[in-house]
A and B are shown apart, each in its own frame.
Chain A
Amino acid sequence: MNVRLNGSSSPVPDSPDTTAAEHIRDRLGLTGTKTACGTGVCGACTVLVDGAPTASCLLPADRLADSVVTTVEGLGGDHPVQRAFAAHDALQCGYCTPGFVVGSSAFVDAWRAEHGDARPGRERIADALSGHLCRCGAYEGIFAAVAAACAGEFDAEPDRDPPRVDALDKVTGRARFSADLAPEGSWEGVIVRSAHAHARVFSVHPGEARVSATRRPVPGVAVDGRPVFTDLLGEERLVRYVGQPIAAVAAPTAALARAAAETVRVDYDPLPAVLDADEARAEDAPRVYTTRAQRRAAPSYGEAPTPPAPWRGNVHGPATVGWRGATAVRRLRRAAERDDPRLVAQEYSTAVQLHSPLEPHVCVASWERDGTLTLRVSTQTVAKVARKAAERWELPPERVRVVSEYVGGGFGAKNGLSADVVAAAELSRLAHAPVRVSFDRAEELTDAGHRAATRTRVALLADSGGNLAAMTVDSHGDGGIAVGSTTATLGLLGYGRSPRRVRDFDVVTHRPPGEPMRAPGGAPLAWALEQAVDTMADRLGEDPLSLRRRWDGNPKRQALYERVAALDLWRERPRGPRTGRFRRGVGIATSNWLYLMGPKARVELSVRDGQVVLRSATQDIGTGIRTVLGEVVADRLGVPASDLRVEIGDSGSVHGTGSFGSRTTTSMGPAAADAADRLRAALREHDPRVPEAGPVPEHALKDALAAAEGVRVVGERGRDRWGALSPDMGDLAVGRGMSGAVHVMEVEVDTLLGRVRPTRCWAGMAVGHVYAERLARNQVEGAVVQGVGYALFEERRHDPTTGVVLTDNLEDYRIPGMGDVPETEVYFHQEGFEHAAGAGVGLGEVSVVGVAASVANAVHDATGWRPRDLPVRPDRLLEGLR
C-alpha cells in the first residue's frame, strides 16, 4: 500500500492504531503538519487528501493508501494563500498556521475556479475555515489574507517583505517548534497522574520500569531499552487534585512508554476532598492545607509575591489595601441604610479560563556526558527555566542550556519548571538518552494552569454631583490548590482617588492549580467593575462614555474617550428599548494595566562572517519580538534588516526578558537600540566613513563589518527618566504610568436561541510608542478574540463527585472560531510614555482586560438584562430574558 505524498510515493503502515498525522509527522518527519487537539477540532493537522482538506489526526494511516496527499510542505511556499498569510500577518505563534494555510489553499483554489477573482465575504470564509482554531486569535489577518488571495492579489511575489520576519518559516511549516523535535535516539516520557482529588500516597510501584539509571550506552552494543521510572511527588506523599503528577516513565517509543506507565501501581489512601469553592468555605469542609508549612508552600498564580494574609480553613485573606478605606466602608454602609439610589452593589462571577496554547507543554531533555543539561522546551521564559534548572539540579549556570526557538503560544501557562521539564530531565538522566515529554490535550487542559475563577462584589457610591464617593471590591479567587488572587487589588488602579477599600481572598479546593493568565485579575475585575460603572451610569441617567470621562482622570484614556465619542460605532448606536428577535447593542469598557519592565534585558550584537548577528535569551511566543529586535537594530544602525541575523530563544546568549507581564518589547526594544548604538560606535572606530547617525553607505558598511569581524557589544535596557516605581524584583520592575485601553463592542443578540454574536469592535490602546504596528495590531485583535471567548464560551467544568476535568478536550472546552469574532478596528494613541526608555510599553495584557466586560455591557444595552456570570451561555441568556 502506497500513498503519493507531495509528489513522491511511499508506503503506508498497515496498522489501524496509527493515525495519518502520526505517520506524516513521526515516520516521514514532515512536522509542518501539527497535532494539537487530537480530536479533529482544531485543524492544525489538516492535509489535503485527493484535494480535500482532511483532519489527519482522525484519519487512520492506512486510509492514505492509493490517495494523493498534500501537506504544507507540498504547497512549496509559493501558493498565493501562503504569500497572503505572510503579507497580512495572518498568524502569531504560527503553530496553527500550516493547517490554516492548507485548508485555505483548498478553499482559495475552489473559490477562484468558481468565482474568478471575486472577494468572498467573512461568513463564507468562516464557513470554509470552521474546522480551524487559532488560540492567538489572528483571525482578522486570516480573513484579510484569504480574501486577498481569492481576489488574485498574491499571484505574484509581493514587492515588500512580510511584516513578520519569520512569517515565511511559519506559513511553510519550516519553523520547528519544540513539539516537532525528536532527536536521534530520543525516548518518550509519560507522566503518571493522580486518580484521586485528595489522597495519601502509600507507595508507588514502578512496574516494569527500572528506578536506577540505565547502563551508559556502549558503541556496538544494543541499547538497554528497559523503561526508566522517576518519582515526581517529592517528600510530601500527598496528592491534592486529580491529575497531579506522581511519577513518570520513559521508554524508547511512545507506545512502550504508555505501556510501561500502565504497569505503574499507585497505592492511595483516599482522603475527603472539597471540589467546590462555596463548599470549601464551610467550617467543616475538608482542608486542603493543614499545616503552616503546607500553606506557605502553596503554589501561587499571582505574578508578584503573594501578600501576607491570614488563613481561616480553606480561605486565605483578606489582603486588604485602599485609601481612606474606613471612610469608603462607612459611606457605603450609610448609603445602604438609606437605600441611596446612587449606590450600586453587585456580585459577579467568572469561570475558569484555560490558556490552551495549541502547542502543548513539551520538553526534550538531554544530559551530556560532561554533565551539561540541555532542555529544548516550549516556554515563555527561557532565562527563568535555565536559572531554575540550575538551582534544582545544582548545576553551574553554564552547564544548563535552554532552547526555545519557536513557541506555539503560552498566554502565561509556559512559565518555569513545569512537570514536562522536570520529568524529561529526570528521565533523561536515568535513560542516558534524550527524553521527550509532551502533554496530551487532556493534560494540557487539566494541569497546565488556568485563569482562576472569581466571585467578586463591587460597591460604588456616587455623591450628589455624580462623582465617585466610595468604592469597595471584595473578591474570592478560586484557583484550585493555588493562591495569589489580585482581582480586587487591581481596583486601586482606576477611577481616580476616591476613598476605597479592596480585599482579595483565595479559596483553595482540591482542584488543579491556576497559573498567571494574560492580565491576571484584570479581566475578572473589569467584568465586575465595568458592568457596575455602566449600572451607575444608568442610575444617574448618564451616557456610559460621559460617566467614564468624568470619573477617569487618566489623560491617555481621555484621548481614547475623545476618539470613541467621534466613532460612528458609538454615535450611531441604537438607543431606547429594543424589540424583536435580533437585538443590537453597543457596550464600552475601560482597561488599565501596570507598566512593567525587565531592567536586566540585554541584547548582544556581534560581527560574524561579515554579518551582524543579534542574540539574546528572550523568546518569541507569537508577539513578534524576533521581528521587533531586528527592526530596531536595523533602523538604529542604519543597515537593511536583511543584513541582520536574529538568534533568540537560547539561554546561551545574554539575558533576555521573559514573555509575561507585558514587558518583552518595552524591555528588549531599548536594549536593542542601545546595542545598535554601541555597535555603530565600534564600527566607526574601524571605519570612519560610518556616519554618526542615519543610514550607513553600503560600501562603508561592508568594509566596516569586514574590519570589525569578531566585535561584540552588549546593549542594556537603561533607566527611564525619573526611574522606576519599584526596585528590580528579579528582572521585574514597575515603571511610571499606566497603560490604558478602551473597547467599544457591538453585539447582536438572538433572543430566540440565546446566542450572542459580537459583530464589530473598536479597540483603542494607549501604550505609547508602538514598535511594529501590524504585529501590535495583531496582538490586540487576538486579545479581542480571547476576551470574546472568555465572555461567551470558555469554561472549564469538572465532575462534582471526583474532580475530574470534563472539558479536557477542545470540543468541550470551547474557544472562539473564525465565525465568532467581531470585525475589529485597532487604534493606537502613541503619546504619554515619553519618559520610558523607547517611549512605548507593553500591550499584551491591557488589550484583553476589558473585552469581556464590553461584551457584557453590549448585551445589557441590547436586551436590558445584565449578565452577572460568565460565560454568557445560551441557557443563561435565555434564563435572563425570560
Chain B
Amino acid sequence: MTATTRPAGLDEALTRLDGTGARPRAGGTDLTACLSSGVLEPAPVVDLSGVEELRGAEWRPDGSVRLGALTGVGELSADTRLADAYPALALTARELATPQVRNAATLGGNLLQRNRCWYLRNPAFDCFQTGGDSCPARGGDHLYGVVVDRGPCVAPHPSSLAVALLAHDASVLVAGGGRAERAVADLYDAADPTRDHVLEPGQVLVSVTLPAPVPGERVAYRRATGRSRAEWPLVEAVARLSLADGGSGPVASAAVAVGGVARTPLRLPEVEAALVGARPGSPLGADVEESLEGLAGLCSPLPATGYKVDLLCATVRDVLGRALDVPEA
C-alpha cells in the first residue's frame, strides 16, 4: 500500500512533491487507468484536491480569466458565464470523453494526461515512455497514430482541451522551481518521445489563463470519429473567427487548431491567414481552399495514417463551414 498526502496549500504540495518520487493527483481518472493497466507503478500520491490555489475562476479587470487547474472538465461547459465567454472551449469540453469522466476529470489533468497509444497502455511492451529505446507502434499497428511525424513517438496528443486552449492563445502557470507563466503550446515538446508534457516531477500546473473573450466570435469544434460519441478523435479541430464591425463584417482574425494529428496540438497559421476577409454565408474563397489543400504539405504520414491527410483537411473544412455558415455545396 502506498501513502497519500493531502496538502491544503500549494507550497506544502510542492514540498511534498519535491524529490520524493510522489505523484500529484488531480481528478485521478487517468492516473487510476494508468495504474490498473500497468503503465505506472504504484507510488505515493500527493492529492491536490484540497489545494485552494488550484481552484476557482478569477475574472480579471482586463477581461481575462484565470481558471484553477482543478476546474472540472464538466464545469467548462456547464458554467454559463464561462461557456458564454469561451464558447470554443465549452464546445470542446462538451464532446470529450463521457459525462461520468467529465464529472471527475479536471482541466489540468486533461492537459497533462498520458497519451492513448495501445502500446504504451499494454504492459507487454516497452516504449520510450516506459523505459524502452524504441517505439513499437512505428513499425507495428499505428492506425490511430500521427500524420505529422516530428519525433520518435507516434502517439497523437490526447488533450482536446489543449487544442481549444491553443486556439485561445491561453497560457498556463506552472509552479515548482519558481513560478512561471508559459504559453499552452510550450507545455509540449513533439521531439521528446519520453513524455507527453514537459513539466518536471515536482512541478504543478496551477492555472490556465484565457485572454479576454471576443464578443460575437464565431466558433466551431469537430472531432472525426467512427462512432458518434465517446471516442478519441482521429482528427479534431477548433475554429475561432472574429468578425469585423462588431460581428457583421468579414473575418478580421482567425484561430484554427487541430489535434489527433501530431505529438502536440497544432495551430494552422496559413489557414488562419487565408481566412481573413472571409464572409459568413458564402462558399470558402480560393485562398482558403488553397490553404486547406496546403495542409497536405504539413503531413508526413506513417504507413497506416495516410487517411488522416484527407481527414485533417476535411475536419478543418467542416469547422470552417460551421463557423461561417458556409452553404452546403
Q: How many residues of B contact A (CB 8 A)?
A: 58
A806 to B141, CA, bound (A): 9
Check A669 for interface membership: any CB of B closer than 8 A: no
- B198 CB contacts on chain A under 8 angstroms: none
* Chain A proximity of B21: nearest CB distance (Å): 14
- A808 CB contacts on chain B under 8 angstroms: 122
* Chain A proximity of B33: nearest CB distance (Å): 5
Q: Known contacts A58-B33, A819-B229; is A52 also within 8 Å of B74 by CB? A: yes
A873 to B44, CA, bound (A): 42
Check B315 for interface membership: any CB of A closer than 8 A: yes
Judge whether B100 and A40 touch: CB under 8 Å.
yes
For window 37-55 of chain B, which residues contact chain A by CB distance below 8 Å?
A: 37, 42, 44-45, 47, 49
B229 is contacted by which of A60, A130, A581, A804 (Cβ under 8 Å)? A130
B225 is contacted by which of A581, A755, A801 (Cβ under 8 Å)? A755
Judge whether A55 and B4 touch: CB under 8 Å.
no
Annotate B214-248 by CB proximity to A: 1 below 8 A, 0 otherwise: 00000000101111111110100000000000000
* Chain B proximity of A538: nearest CB distance (Å): 27
Annotate A15-54 by CB proximity to B: 1 below 8 A, 0 otherwise: 1110100000000000000000011110100100100111
* Chain B proximity of A142: nearest CB distance (Å): 15
Q: Known contacts A39-B33, A58-B28, A753-B311; is A797 also within 8 Å of B143 by CB? A: yes
A438 to B89, CA, bound (A): 42
Beta-carbon nearest neighbor of A812 in chain B: B118
Judge whether B2 and A15 touch: CB under 8 Å.
yes
A798 to B2, CA, bound (A): 34
The winner among B44, B143, B225, B227 for most chain A CB atoms within 10 A is: B227
A41 to B229, CA, bound (A): 11
Judge whether A753 and B100 touch: CB under 8 Å.
no
Check A562 for interface membership: any CB of B closer than 8 A: no
Beta-carbon nearest neighbor of B101 in chain A: A40
A780 to B36, CA, bound (A): 36
Judge whether B140 and A16 touch: CB under 8 Å.
no
Q: How many residues of A contact B (CB 8 A)?
A: 65
* Chain B proximity of A357: nearest CB distance (Å): 19
Check B59 for interface membership: any CB of A closer than 8 A: no
- A817 CB contacts on chain B under 8 angstroms: 227-230
- A62 CB contacts on chain B under 8 angstroms: 4, 47
Q: Which of A365-373, A469-477, A862-870, A874-882 contacts B (4 or more CB under 8 A)?
A: A874-882
A806 is contacted by which of B44, B74, B122 (Cβ under 8 Å)? B122
A61 to B279, CA, bound (A): 52
- B228 CB contacts on chain A under 8 angstroms: 126, 755, 757, 817, 819-820
Q: Known contacts A54-B100, A242-B124, A820-B228; is A799 also within 8 Å of B140 by CB? A: yes
Judge whether B230 and A131 touch: CB under 8 Å.
yes
- B308 CB contacts on chain A under 8 angstroms: 875
Annotate B300-326 by CB proximity to A: 1 below 8 A, 0 otherwise: 000000011011001101100000000
Check A59 for interface membership: any CB of B closer than 8 A: yes
- A802 CB contacts on chain B under 8 angstroms: 124-125
A53 is contacted by which of B28, B100, B121 (Cβ under 8 Å)? B100
- A14 CB contacts on chain B under 8 angstroms: 4
The winner among A17, A43, A792, A871 for most chain B CB atoms within 10 A is: A17
B140 is contacted by which of A49, A57, A800 (Cβ under 8 Å)? A800
* Chain B proximity of A146: nearest CB distance (Å): 14
A126 to B135, CA, bound (A): 37
5 pairs of residues in contact across A and B, judged by CB atoms under 8 Å: A16-B42, A38-B36, A58-B104, A820-B227, A820-B228
Q: Which 3 pairs across A and B sit closest by C-beta, in order of nearness?
A: A131-B98, A875-B307, A819-B228
Give 16 new A-B contacts, CB below 8 A, not counting A131-B97, A754-B311.
A15-B2, A17-B1, A55-B98, A55-B100, A130-B230, A581-B329, A801-B136, A801-B139, A804-B122, A807-B118, A809-B118, A817-B230, A819-B228, A874-B224, A875-B311, A878-B310
Which residue numbers of A lie inside 8 Å of B, CB to CB? 14-17, 19, 38-41, 43, 46, 49, 52-55, 57-60, 62-63, 103, 126-128, 130-131, 195, 242, 580-581, 752-755, 757, 792-793, 797-802, 804, 806-809, 811-812, 814, 816-820, 871, 873-875, 878-879, 882
